[in-house]
Amino acid sequence: MEPDVGVAASELDTYLFVILGIIILAGGLGGLVNYFLAQSDRKARRKGADTALDANEYLTWWQSMIIGVASALLVPLFLSLISSTLLAEAKNDVVKGFVFAGFCLAAGIASRPSSGASRTGWCARPRPWQKKPAPGASRRRSRRRKPSRPHSRLPPGWTRSAGRLRAT
């Protein structure tokens, strides 16, 4: 007799879709939380300035959601790296499903880019130790000439004449 594989496959498909749904919903919610936290940070930094968001400088809400979902997709990888049985236990225990959803939500919120990061990349923002050049000034450093060594620094018994070193 052949075992009935159709029932087991349909249960697995249903469970897989439930896990993917949890990942997408919790990761998207975490991305939105991330977006609103970043927006409140920007408003706090610009107390006296215009608080309108610059579309070219910061991530939009849907970009934050996509990053949150992408980071939540890494939660099963993290759980397998630490040899956790949370996903297997979540199949039978609803509380473990909520724990898994909490991990996905935390991953979505933690996907926050570093402060001041823009769409062009984190390296595009000026660093505190980088001074802004004066308007019209060149960013290239001027070449320094090495100071000429005085003849007194030559080793004993050597002289320099016509640019050449000679032993005396």
Sorted by sequence, the CB contacts under 8 Å of residue 158 that are 6+ apart come out as 165, 166, 167, 168
* Total tally of structural domains belonging to the chain: 1
pTM score: 0.57
Q: Helices 94-109 and 61-72 meet at what angle, rounded to 10?
A: 130
Ranges of residues in the chain whose predicted pLDDT is under 50: 50-56, 117-120, 122
In-domain check, residue 136: no
Closest-CA residue to 67 (of 125, 117, 17): 117
Residue 73: how many other CB atoms lie within 10 Å: 15
In-domain check, residue 148: no
Predicted pLDDT of residue 150:
56
Residue 159 backbone phi and psi in degrees, to 5 = -135, 160
In-domain check, residue 140: no
- Helix/strand/coil for 77: helix
In-domain check, residue 91: yes
Domain with 35, as residue range(s), is: 10-118
In-domain check, residue 156: no
